[in-house]
């Protein structure tokens, strides 16, 4: 056995290695570190607070994000998610820059800076305004994702020292903020925390996948 694959490593998180697997681990310090990272992630996820929603709710949440256009997928139940989107999208557009700097410490130039912004746009109806805000939110998330990818490609973005621990921390933040949003759905700050956390989680998972490759 020359090297353990990811499935075997995942099994060894909870099970003792066979003599052959132990020999492989002893001969490959990098592999031992990968296994230690998986165990650390599993432990961190196991220590998440009870505020986490039921496991099945994440699937429902994913469908709602697809319906809102915040992630790729089929557009379903867009009408049911519209009220939440109005609040969350408005926060992303008008306060998103400041939150980017708060969460990542590396906001693009011009975001969150002092000074007067553009005059508010005029719309004929709530529906028209909601659609405009939703489109602006999608453009913001796409632009921010592209910005981070360019930073990473040019070596300008600092690497997360422990992505697994960061994923667990962000998921804890998402769970707490989502529970808070359910209690106060009209609170703009709470909605902003949740949406920005989702974007950061996506970027961190992308880094984990890239590092694994």
- Asked whether the predicted pLDDT for residue 98 surpasses 60, the reply is no
Does residue 136 sit in the same domain as residue 35? no
Domain total in the chain: 2
Provide the 3-class DSSP secondary structure of residue 135. Answer: helix
Q: Which has the higher per-residue pLDDT, 119 or 129? A: 129
Q: Which has the higher per-residue pLDDT, 54 or 150? A: 150
**CB–CB of 151/157 below 8 Å?**
yes
Does residue 110 sit in the same domain as residue 193? yes
Three-state secondary structure along 59-119?
HHHHHHHHHHCCCCCCCCCHHHHHHHHHHHHHHHHHHHHHHHHHHHCCCCCCCCCCCCCCC
- Asked whether the predicted pLDDT for residue 56 surpasses 60, the reply is no
Among the candidates 47, 64, 83, a domain finishes at 47
**CB–CB of 41/162 below 8 Å?**
no
Does residue 72 sit in the same domain as residue 9? no
Q: First CA to last CA across the chain, in angstroms? A: 20
**CB–CB of 204/170 below 8 Å?**
yes
Residue 133: per-residue pLDDT:
67
> pLDDT tens, 168-182?
788 888 888 778 877
Range of the domain at 73: 55-212
Residue 71: per-residue pLDDT:
55
Does residue 24 sit in the same domain as residue 61? no
Across the range 118-131, mean pLDDT stands at: 74
Residue 157: per-residue pLDDT:
54
Does residue 34 sit in the same domain as residue 75? no
Does residue 140 sit in the same domain as residue 69? yes
Does residue 74 sit in the same domain as residue 112? yes
Across the range 50-62, mean pLDDT stands at: 58
Percent with pLDDT over 70 in the chain: 49
Does residue 23 sit in the same domain as residue 113? no
Q: Which has the higher per-residue pLDDT, 25 or 41? A: 25
Does residue 65 sit in the same domain as residue 110? yes
Q: Which has the higher per-residue pLDDT, 25 or 72? A: 25
Q: Which has the higher per-residue pLDDT, 153 or 105? A: 153
Does residue 42 sit in the same domain as residue 102? no
Listed in sequence order, the residues at least 6 apart from 153 whose beta carbon sits closer than 8 Å to its beta carbon are: none
Does residue 163 sit in the same domain as residue 81? yes
Does residue 26 sit in the same domain as residue 112? no
> pLDDT tens, 131-173?
776 677 677 667 766 776 776 666 655 555 667 777 778 888 8
Question: To the nearest whole number, what is the mean pLDDT of the chain?
Answer: 67
């Amino acid at each position: 056995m020359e090297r353990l694959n990811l499935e075997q490593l995942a099994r060894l998180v909870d099970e003792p290695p066979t003599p052959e697997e132990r020999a492989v681990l002893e001969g490959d310090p990098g592999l031992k570190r990968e296994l230690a990272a998986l165990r650390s992630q599993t432990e961190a996820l196991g220590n998440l607070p009870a505020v986490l929603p039921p496991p099945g709710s994440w699937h429902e949440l994913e469908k709602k994000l697809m319906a809102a256009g915040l992630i790729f997928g089929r557009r379903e139940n867009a009408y049911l998610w519209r009220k939440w989107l109005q609040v969350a999208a408005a926060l992303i557009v008008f306060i998103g820059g400041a939150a980017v700097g708060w969460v990542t410490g590396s906001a693009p130039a011009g975001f969150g800076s002092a000074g007067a912004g553009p005059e508010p746009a005029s719309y004929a109806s709530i529906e028209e305004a909601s659609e405009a805000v939703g489109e602006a939110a999608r453009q913001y998330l796409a632009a921010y994702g592209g910005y981070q990818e360019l930073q990473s490609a040019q070596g300008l973005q600092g690497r997360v020292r422990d992505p697994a621990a960061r994923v667990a921390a962000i998921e804890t933040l998402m769970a707490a903020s989502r529970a808070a949003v359910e209690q106060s759905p009209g609170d703009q700050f709470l909605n902003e925390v949740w949406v920005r956390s989702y974007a950061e989680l996506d970027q961190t998972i992308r880094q984990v996948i890239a590092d694994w490759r």
